[in-house]
């Protein structure tokens, strides 16, 4: 479990304790208790955040039952559910598109300073997110062959991505000019801030519920978007949305999933032993043509 996930679960446990009381007997909890809890949670959370919180709380009680800490599964009632798919669709519609168009990405890449420029190229070349670039180890990068082979930190699912020549050039520059690490644990990171820290990290507060994420990627990217006048409720992950959306035009979804490190639970995936490099190159070529027109 990552530090951030631990913090989120710790906070969810605190929400349960604060809502029901530290000395409340679990067997005494009824469906109306969970209905009131959901109402309180919904006052400060949007549909996505509310759904995530409900999932974590349900997992807390499932863990208790699975480990024999409570005698029977919890009964939540009809109301303690995640927001419906319809509600999530409506929320997404209100927020507008979550991807960048090609002209916007060209402006971002052209204006971004290093190493943010290289991070952005990895986002649209390989579908990388903020944690992906922040935790990218040097041994995952093959500049001579032009590949990144790097399991997703979040899931451990293998991923392999062919690099565009411009991405390779940008990576060489970023690595050559990388600051010295502040912490030996970060010595193998491809990217470090000007202070020698990991770009995305958690604070070291004694109370896990008070630990905060220090996300320099998000901060610097938001400043760049503001400077360029590119608005809308979009962030660094919008480039990842762009990759997924455009890469599917290759009509090779298994190859797209492999590049992005997404789970494939289909029966075909059970029997599939590998995806050829040619298929992976074809996917990123489609994205490159959309972005740069060549």
pLDDT higher than threshold 90 for residue 268: no
How is residue 170 written in tokens?
């940008």
Q: Is 198 within 8 Å of 189 (Cβ atoms)?
A: yes
pTM of the model: 0.78
Q: pLDDT value at position 272?
A: 76
Residue of 106, 239, 122 lying closest to 171 (CA atoms): 122
The pLDDT-based confidence of 162 (bands split at 50, 70, 90) is very high
**Domains detected in the chain:** 3-95 (1.10.150), 102-292 (1.10.443.10)
Count CB-CB contacts under 10 A for residue 226.
10
Contacts 24+ apart (CB under 8 A), 99-105: 99/234, 99/238, 99/239, 99/241, 99/242, 99/245, 100/230, 100/234, 100/238, 100/239, 100/241, 100/242, 101/242, 102/290, 102/291, 104/230, 105/239, 105/242, 105/291
In the chain, the percentage of residues whose pLDDT exceeds 90 is 70
pLDDT higher than threshold 90 for residue 57: yes
Paired residues of 137 in beta bridges: 189
Q: pLDDT value at position 154?
A: 66
Q: pLDDT value at position 151?
A: 82
Q: pLDDT value at position 141?
A: 96
pLDDT higher than threshold 80 for residue 232: no
Count CB-CB contacts under 10 A for residue 240.
23
pLDDT higher than threshold 70 for residue 95: no
The pLDDT-based confidence of 56 (bands split at 50, 70, 90) is very high
Lowest mean pLDDT among 39-48, 51-60, 196-205, 285-294: 196-205
The pLDDT-based confidence of 269 (bands split at 50, 70, 90) is confident
pLDDT higher than threshold 80 for residue 71: yes
pLDDT higher than threshold 70 for residue 96: no
pLDDT higher than threshold 70 for residue 209: no
- Residue 287 CA to residue 240 CA, distance in Å, equals 11
The pLDDT-based confidence of 36 (bands split at 50, 70, 90) is very high
- Residue 153 CA to residue 39 CA, distance in Å, equals 34
Q: Is 272 within 8 Å of 254 (Cβ atoms)?
A: yes
Lowest mean pLDDT among 45-54, 79-88, 122-131, 197-206: 197-206
The pLDDT-based confidence of 175 (bands split at 50, 70, 90) is very high
Q: pLDDT value at position 263?
A: 75
Q: pLDDT value at position 3?
A: 73
- Coil, strand or helix at 221: helix
Q: pLDDT value at position 210?
A: 67
Q: pLDDT value at position 205?
A: 66
Q: Given CA atoms 262, 142, 105, 220 in this order, what sign does their dihedral have? A: positive
In the chain, the percentage of residues whose pLDDT exceeds 70 is 94
pLDDT higher than threshold 70 for residue 153: no
């Amino acid at each position: 479990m990552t530090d951030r996930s631990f913090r989120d679960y710790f906070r969810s446990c605190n929400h349960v304790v604060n809502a029901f009381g530290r000395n409340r007997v679990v067997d005494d909890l009824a469906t109306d208790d969970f209905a009131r809890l959901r109402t309180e949670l919904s006052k400060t959370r949007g549909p996505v955040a509310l759904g995530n919180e409900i999932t974590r709380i349900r997992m807390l009680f499932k863990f208790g039952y699975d480990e024999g800490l409570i005698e029977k599964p919890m009964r939540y009632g009809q109301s303690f559910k995640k927001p419906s798919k319809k509600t999530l669709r409506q929320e997404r519609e209100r927020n507008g598109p979550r991807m960048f168009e090609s002209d916007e990405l060209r402006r971002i890449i052209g204006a971004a300073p290093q190493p943010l420029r290289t991070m952005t190229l990895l986002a649209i070349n390989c579908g990388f997110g903020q944690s992906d670039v922040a935790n990218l180890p040097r041994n995952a990068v093959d500049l001579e062959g032009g590949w990144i082979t790097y399991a997703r930190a979040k899931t451990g699912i293998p991923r392999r991505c062919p690099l565009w020549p411009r991405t390779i050039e940008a990576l060489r520059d970023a690595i050559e000019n990388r600051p010295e690490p502040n912490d030996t644990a970060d010595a193998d990171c491809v990217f470090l801030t000007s202070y020698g820290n990991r770009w995305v990290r958690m604070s070291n507060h004694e109370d896990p519920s008070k630990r905060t994420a220090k996300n320099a990627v998000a901060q610097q990217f938001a400043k760049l978007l503001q400077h360029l006048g590119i608005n809308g409720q979009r962030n660094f992950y919008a480039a990842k949305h762009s990759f997924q959306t455009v890469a599917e035009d290759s009509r090779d979804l298994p190859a797209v999933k492999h590049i992005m490190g997404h789970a494939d639970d289909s029966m075909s995936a059970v029997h599939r032993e590998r995806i050829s490099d040619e298929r992976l190159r074809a996917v990123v070529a489609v994205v490159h043509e959309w972005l740069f027109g060549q």
